[in-house]
Amino acid sequence: MVFAHTGSARSSVGGVRRSSPTARGPLPELGRRGGGWVAAQAALIVLIALSALVGLGWRGGLAPAAYAVAAVLGLLGVALLVAGGATLGSALTPFPAPREGAGLRQAGVYGFVRHPMYGGGILVALGWSVAFATPAGLALSVALALFFELKSRREELWLERSIPSYREYRQHVRRRFLPFLW
């Protein structure tokens, strides 16, 4: 996606394009559409998946409750992922920079939360970590949540530039990832 960056200076430091201080935010773009963000996200997800290999496993009376919690987290996460993806339709992209011409989605789950797919990913990662009783997975899930916090901030800078009504939407829909919670 090609954006016309008017009114803000651009600089490149070590191949990483950064917004100038006048562009409101020090978060790096990591590529024209944010490909570096996608690569880092993929690496975190792979590490979370691999954390099952070092999981402690559940034994005894805690196992049924742990698996139930894991299932609920996983199903809620998948529901957010599917609802978010279905609402975005052709505007869906793994990149934080929106597709050219993609309009603002405010219907469905986007009426409650601005980044439901990130929230869904966090819930799935937590469910996975609980299912395999992996402290490493839990730590990586927390890292994924922090990563999504940063990625969503970078994404919102691009959204504000390309969709004039995004700032108003953000004020109306306060939750970032999980409806009614966060």
Q: What is the pLDDT of residues 126-150, one digit of tens each?
A: 999 999 999 999 999 999 999 999 9
How much is the pTM?
A: 0.83
The domain segmentation of the chain, as residue ranges, is 34-172
Which pLDDT score, from 0 to 100, does residue 25 have? 53
Which pLDDT score, from 0 to 100, does residue 10 have? 38
The residue type of 87 is T
Quick: pLDDT tens for 17-41. 444 333 455 788 899 899 999 999 9
- For the beta carbon of residue 25, count every other beta carbon within 10 angstroms: 14
Q: What mean pLDDT is predicted for residues 55-65?
A: 89
6 or 53: whose pLDDT is higher?
53
Distance CA 84, CA 20 (A): 31
Percentage of the chain modeled with pLDDT above 70? 86
- For the beta carbon of residue 142, count every other beta carbon within 10 angstroms: 14
Cβ pair 73, 130 in contact under 8 A: yes
Q: What mean pLDDT is predicted for residues 99-118?
A: 91
Quick: pLDDT tens for 70-87. 999 999 999 999 999 999
| Residue 4, burial from CB neighbour count under 10 angstroms (0-12, 13-18, 19+) | exposed
The residue type of 124 is V
Does 152 score more than 60 pLDDT?
yes
Does 93 score more than 70 pLDDT?
yes
What architecture (CATH level 2) is domain 34-172? Up-down Bundle (1.20)
Instruction: Please tell me what DSSP assigns to residue 178.
Output: S
